[in-house]
Structure 1
Amino acid sequence: MSERWVTPVTLTGQHVLLEPMALEHVDELSAAASDGRLWELWYTTVAAPEAMAASVSQALARRERDGEMPFIVREAADGRPIGSTRFCNVEAERQRLEIGYTWYSASYQRTAVNTECKLLLLGHAFETLGAIAVEFRTHWFNHASREAIARLGAKQDGVLRNHQRLADGSYRDTVVFSIINHEWAAVKQHLRFRLARHQASSR
């Protein structure tokens, strides 16, 4: 096997810690997803507790087969599991990848968590891996996700119509956003500013 482009790494910030996912995280991820019963949102792919073991196994299989890197997201202060995210659709030869499969416990949505997670992931992608572009994809009807991606500073590239068939038989129109390497300096400054505002408002 050729040398992997994306290798296991732990990314640590002030609010969050991103740790490579492992099979022993199944119960913790189930507990995190139960905060808000996230699997009941039809336009997301968060596994229900009874399906979490299979979901984690699939993520780890894709890590080995496709060079992806799934993470469990923890609260930095106490190590509490609060979500998951992933480097996926890795194209090492083109130096492109996607940040996806992201979800957070309901209690941590619209907090500093997503901003800092993306700051850590994008920083690693552009500054360590040398990526030339990072994509974000979401369901057309996931308006909260689309707004959150736009707030990061990503630009919408387009919509892939009938891009995927979901488990319930419906078809997903996928909205594609991206940030390219030449934009990273400005996006990084923007994310740091947003993070500082989150911190100031929480005092």
Structure 2
Amino acid sequence: MQIDFNLKLESEKLLLRPLLESDLAQLFEFTQESEMWKFYTHDLSNKDGLIDWARPALKKDRLQFVIIDKAENIILGSTAFGNYALRDRRIEIGWTWLAKPHQGSGINAQVKQIMLTYAFEKLYMERVEFKTDVLNTQARKALRNIGAIEEGVLRSHTLMTKERRRDTIYYSILKSEWNHIKRENDW
């Protein structure tokens, strides 16, 4: 099964729909706090960084979603499916960020639930992987909280903003773990 780049996913409260070029102006309003991007591969607080970040999504190399609050009809942030390997039945969830007022609100866990359910129950993935900066303790805690297993660190793996080299830590959830994780998280 191939990735549908027109895919929309939703729960009772959230809609995940593909990023459109017309979304960039609204997203730019939420990205002005440069401190938000210290653990991110692009500095989205400047327009060039935002456009560079969006380019793979607009070229359909990554399925980047905007996260929308259905009741308020406002964009809260973004997340993506990427690094899809059909033969290996593997996909990555990442490139996730939330506007500052929505951080720590439980939205990230809801988004992961929607995406993991789709990955395991519609795409029939064997493995869903996540990666983050080894220094990003908040993201690491969030991944552990949803049941992702820490796998290891790739040293000097990724170029970050301000020319810093990131040590990247990988996490994953396997198909064999999915039912247990759904029960543990009351999904």
Same topology, TM > 0.5 = yes
1:38 positional shift: 5.0
Counterpart position of 2:45: 48
Number of residue equivalences = 184
Q: Distance in 2 between matches of 1:159 and 1:148?
A: 17
1:59 positional shift: 2.4
Q: Deviations over 1:105-164 (max 9, x none)?
A: 111111121111011000000000000000010001111011111101000011111112
Kindly provide the amino acid, as one letter, of the partner of residue 13 in structure 1: S
Q: Distance in 2 between matches of 1:123 and 1:9?
A: 14
Q: Distance in 1 between matches of 2:181 and 2:73?
A: 28
Q: Deviations over 1:65-107 (max 9, x none)?
A: x4x2110111121211110000011111111010010000111
Long gaps (5+) in structure 1: 194-203
Change (3 A) 1:23 1:39: farther
Q: Distance in 2 between matches of 1:165 and 1:112?
A: 29
Q: What is the RMSD of the two structures over their aligned residues, measured on CA atoms?
A: 1.7
Kindly report which structure 2 residues correspond to 1:43-192, keeping only aligned pairs within 5 A, or say none. 43-45=39-41, 46-51=43-48, 52-61=50-59, 63=60, 66=61, 68-192=62-186
- Give yes or no for contact 1:115–1:191 (8 Å, CA) kept in 2: no
Q: Distance in 2 between matches of 1:69 and 1:39?
A: 25
Counterpart position of 1:199: none
TM-score normalised to structure 2 length = 0.91
Counterpart position of 1:12: 10
- Give yes or no for contact 2:65–2:78 (8 Å, CA) kept in 1: yes
Long gaps (5+) in structure 2: none
Counterpart secondary structure, 1:192:
coil
1:192 positional shift: 2.9
1:55 positional shift: 2.6
Q: Distance in 1 between matches of 2:168 and 2:178?
A: 24
- Higher helix residue share: 1
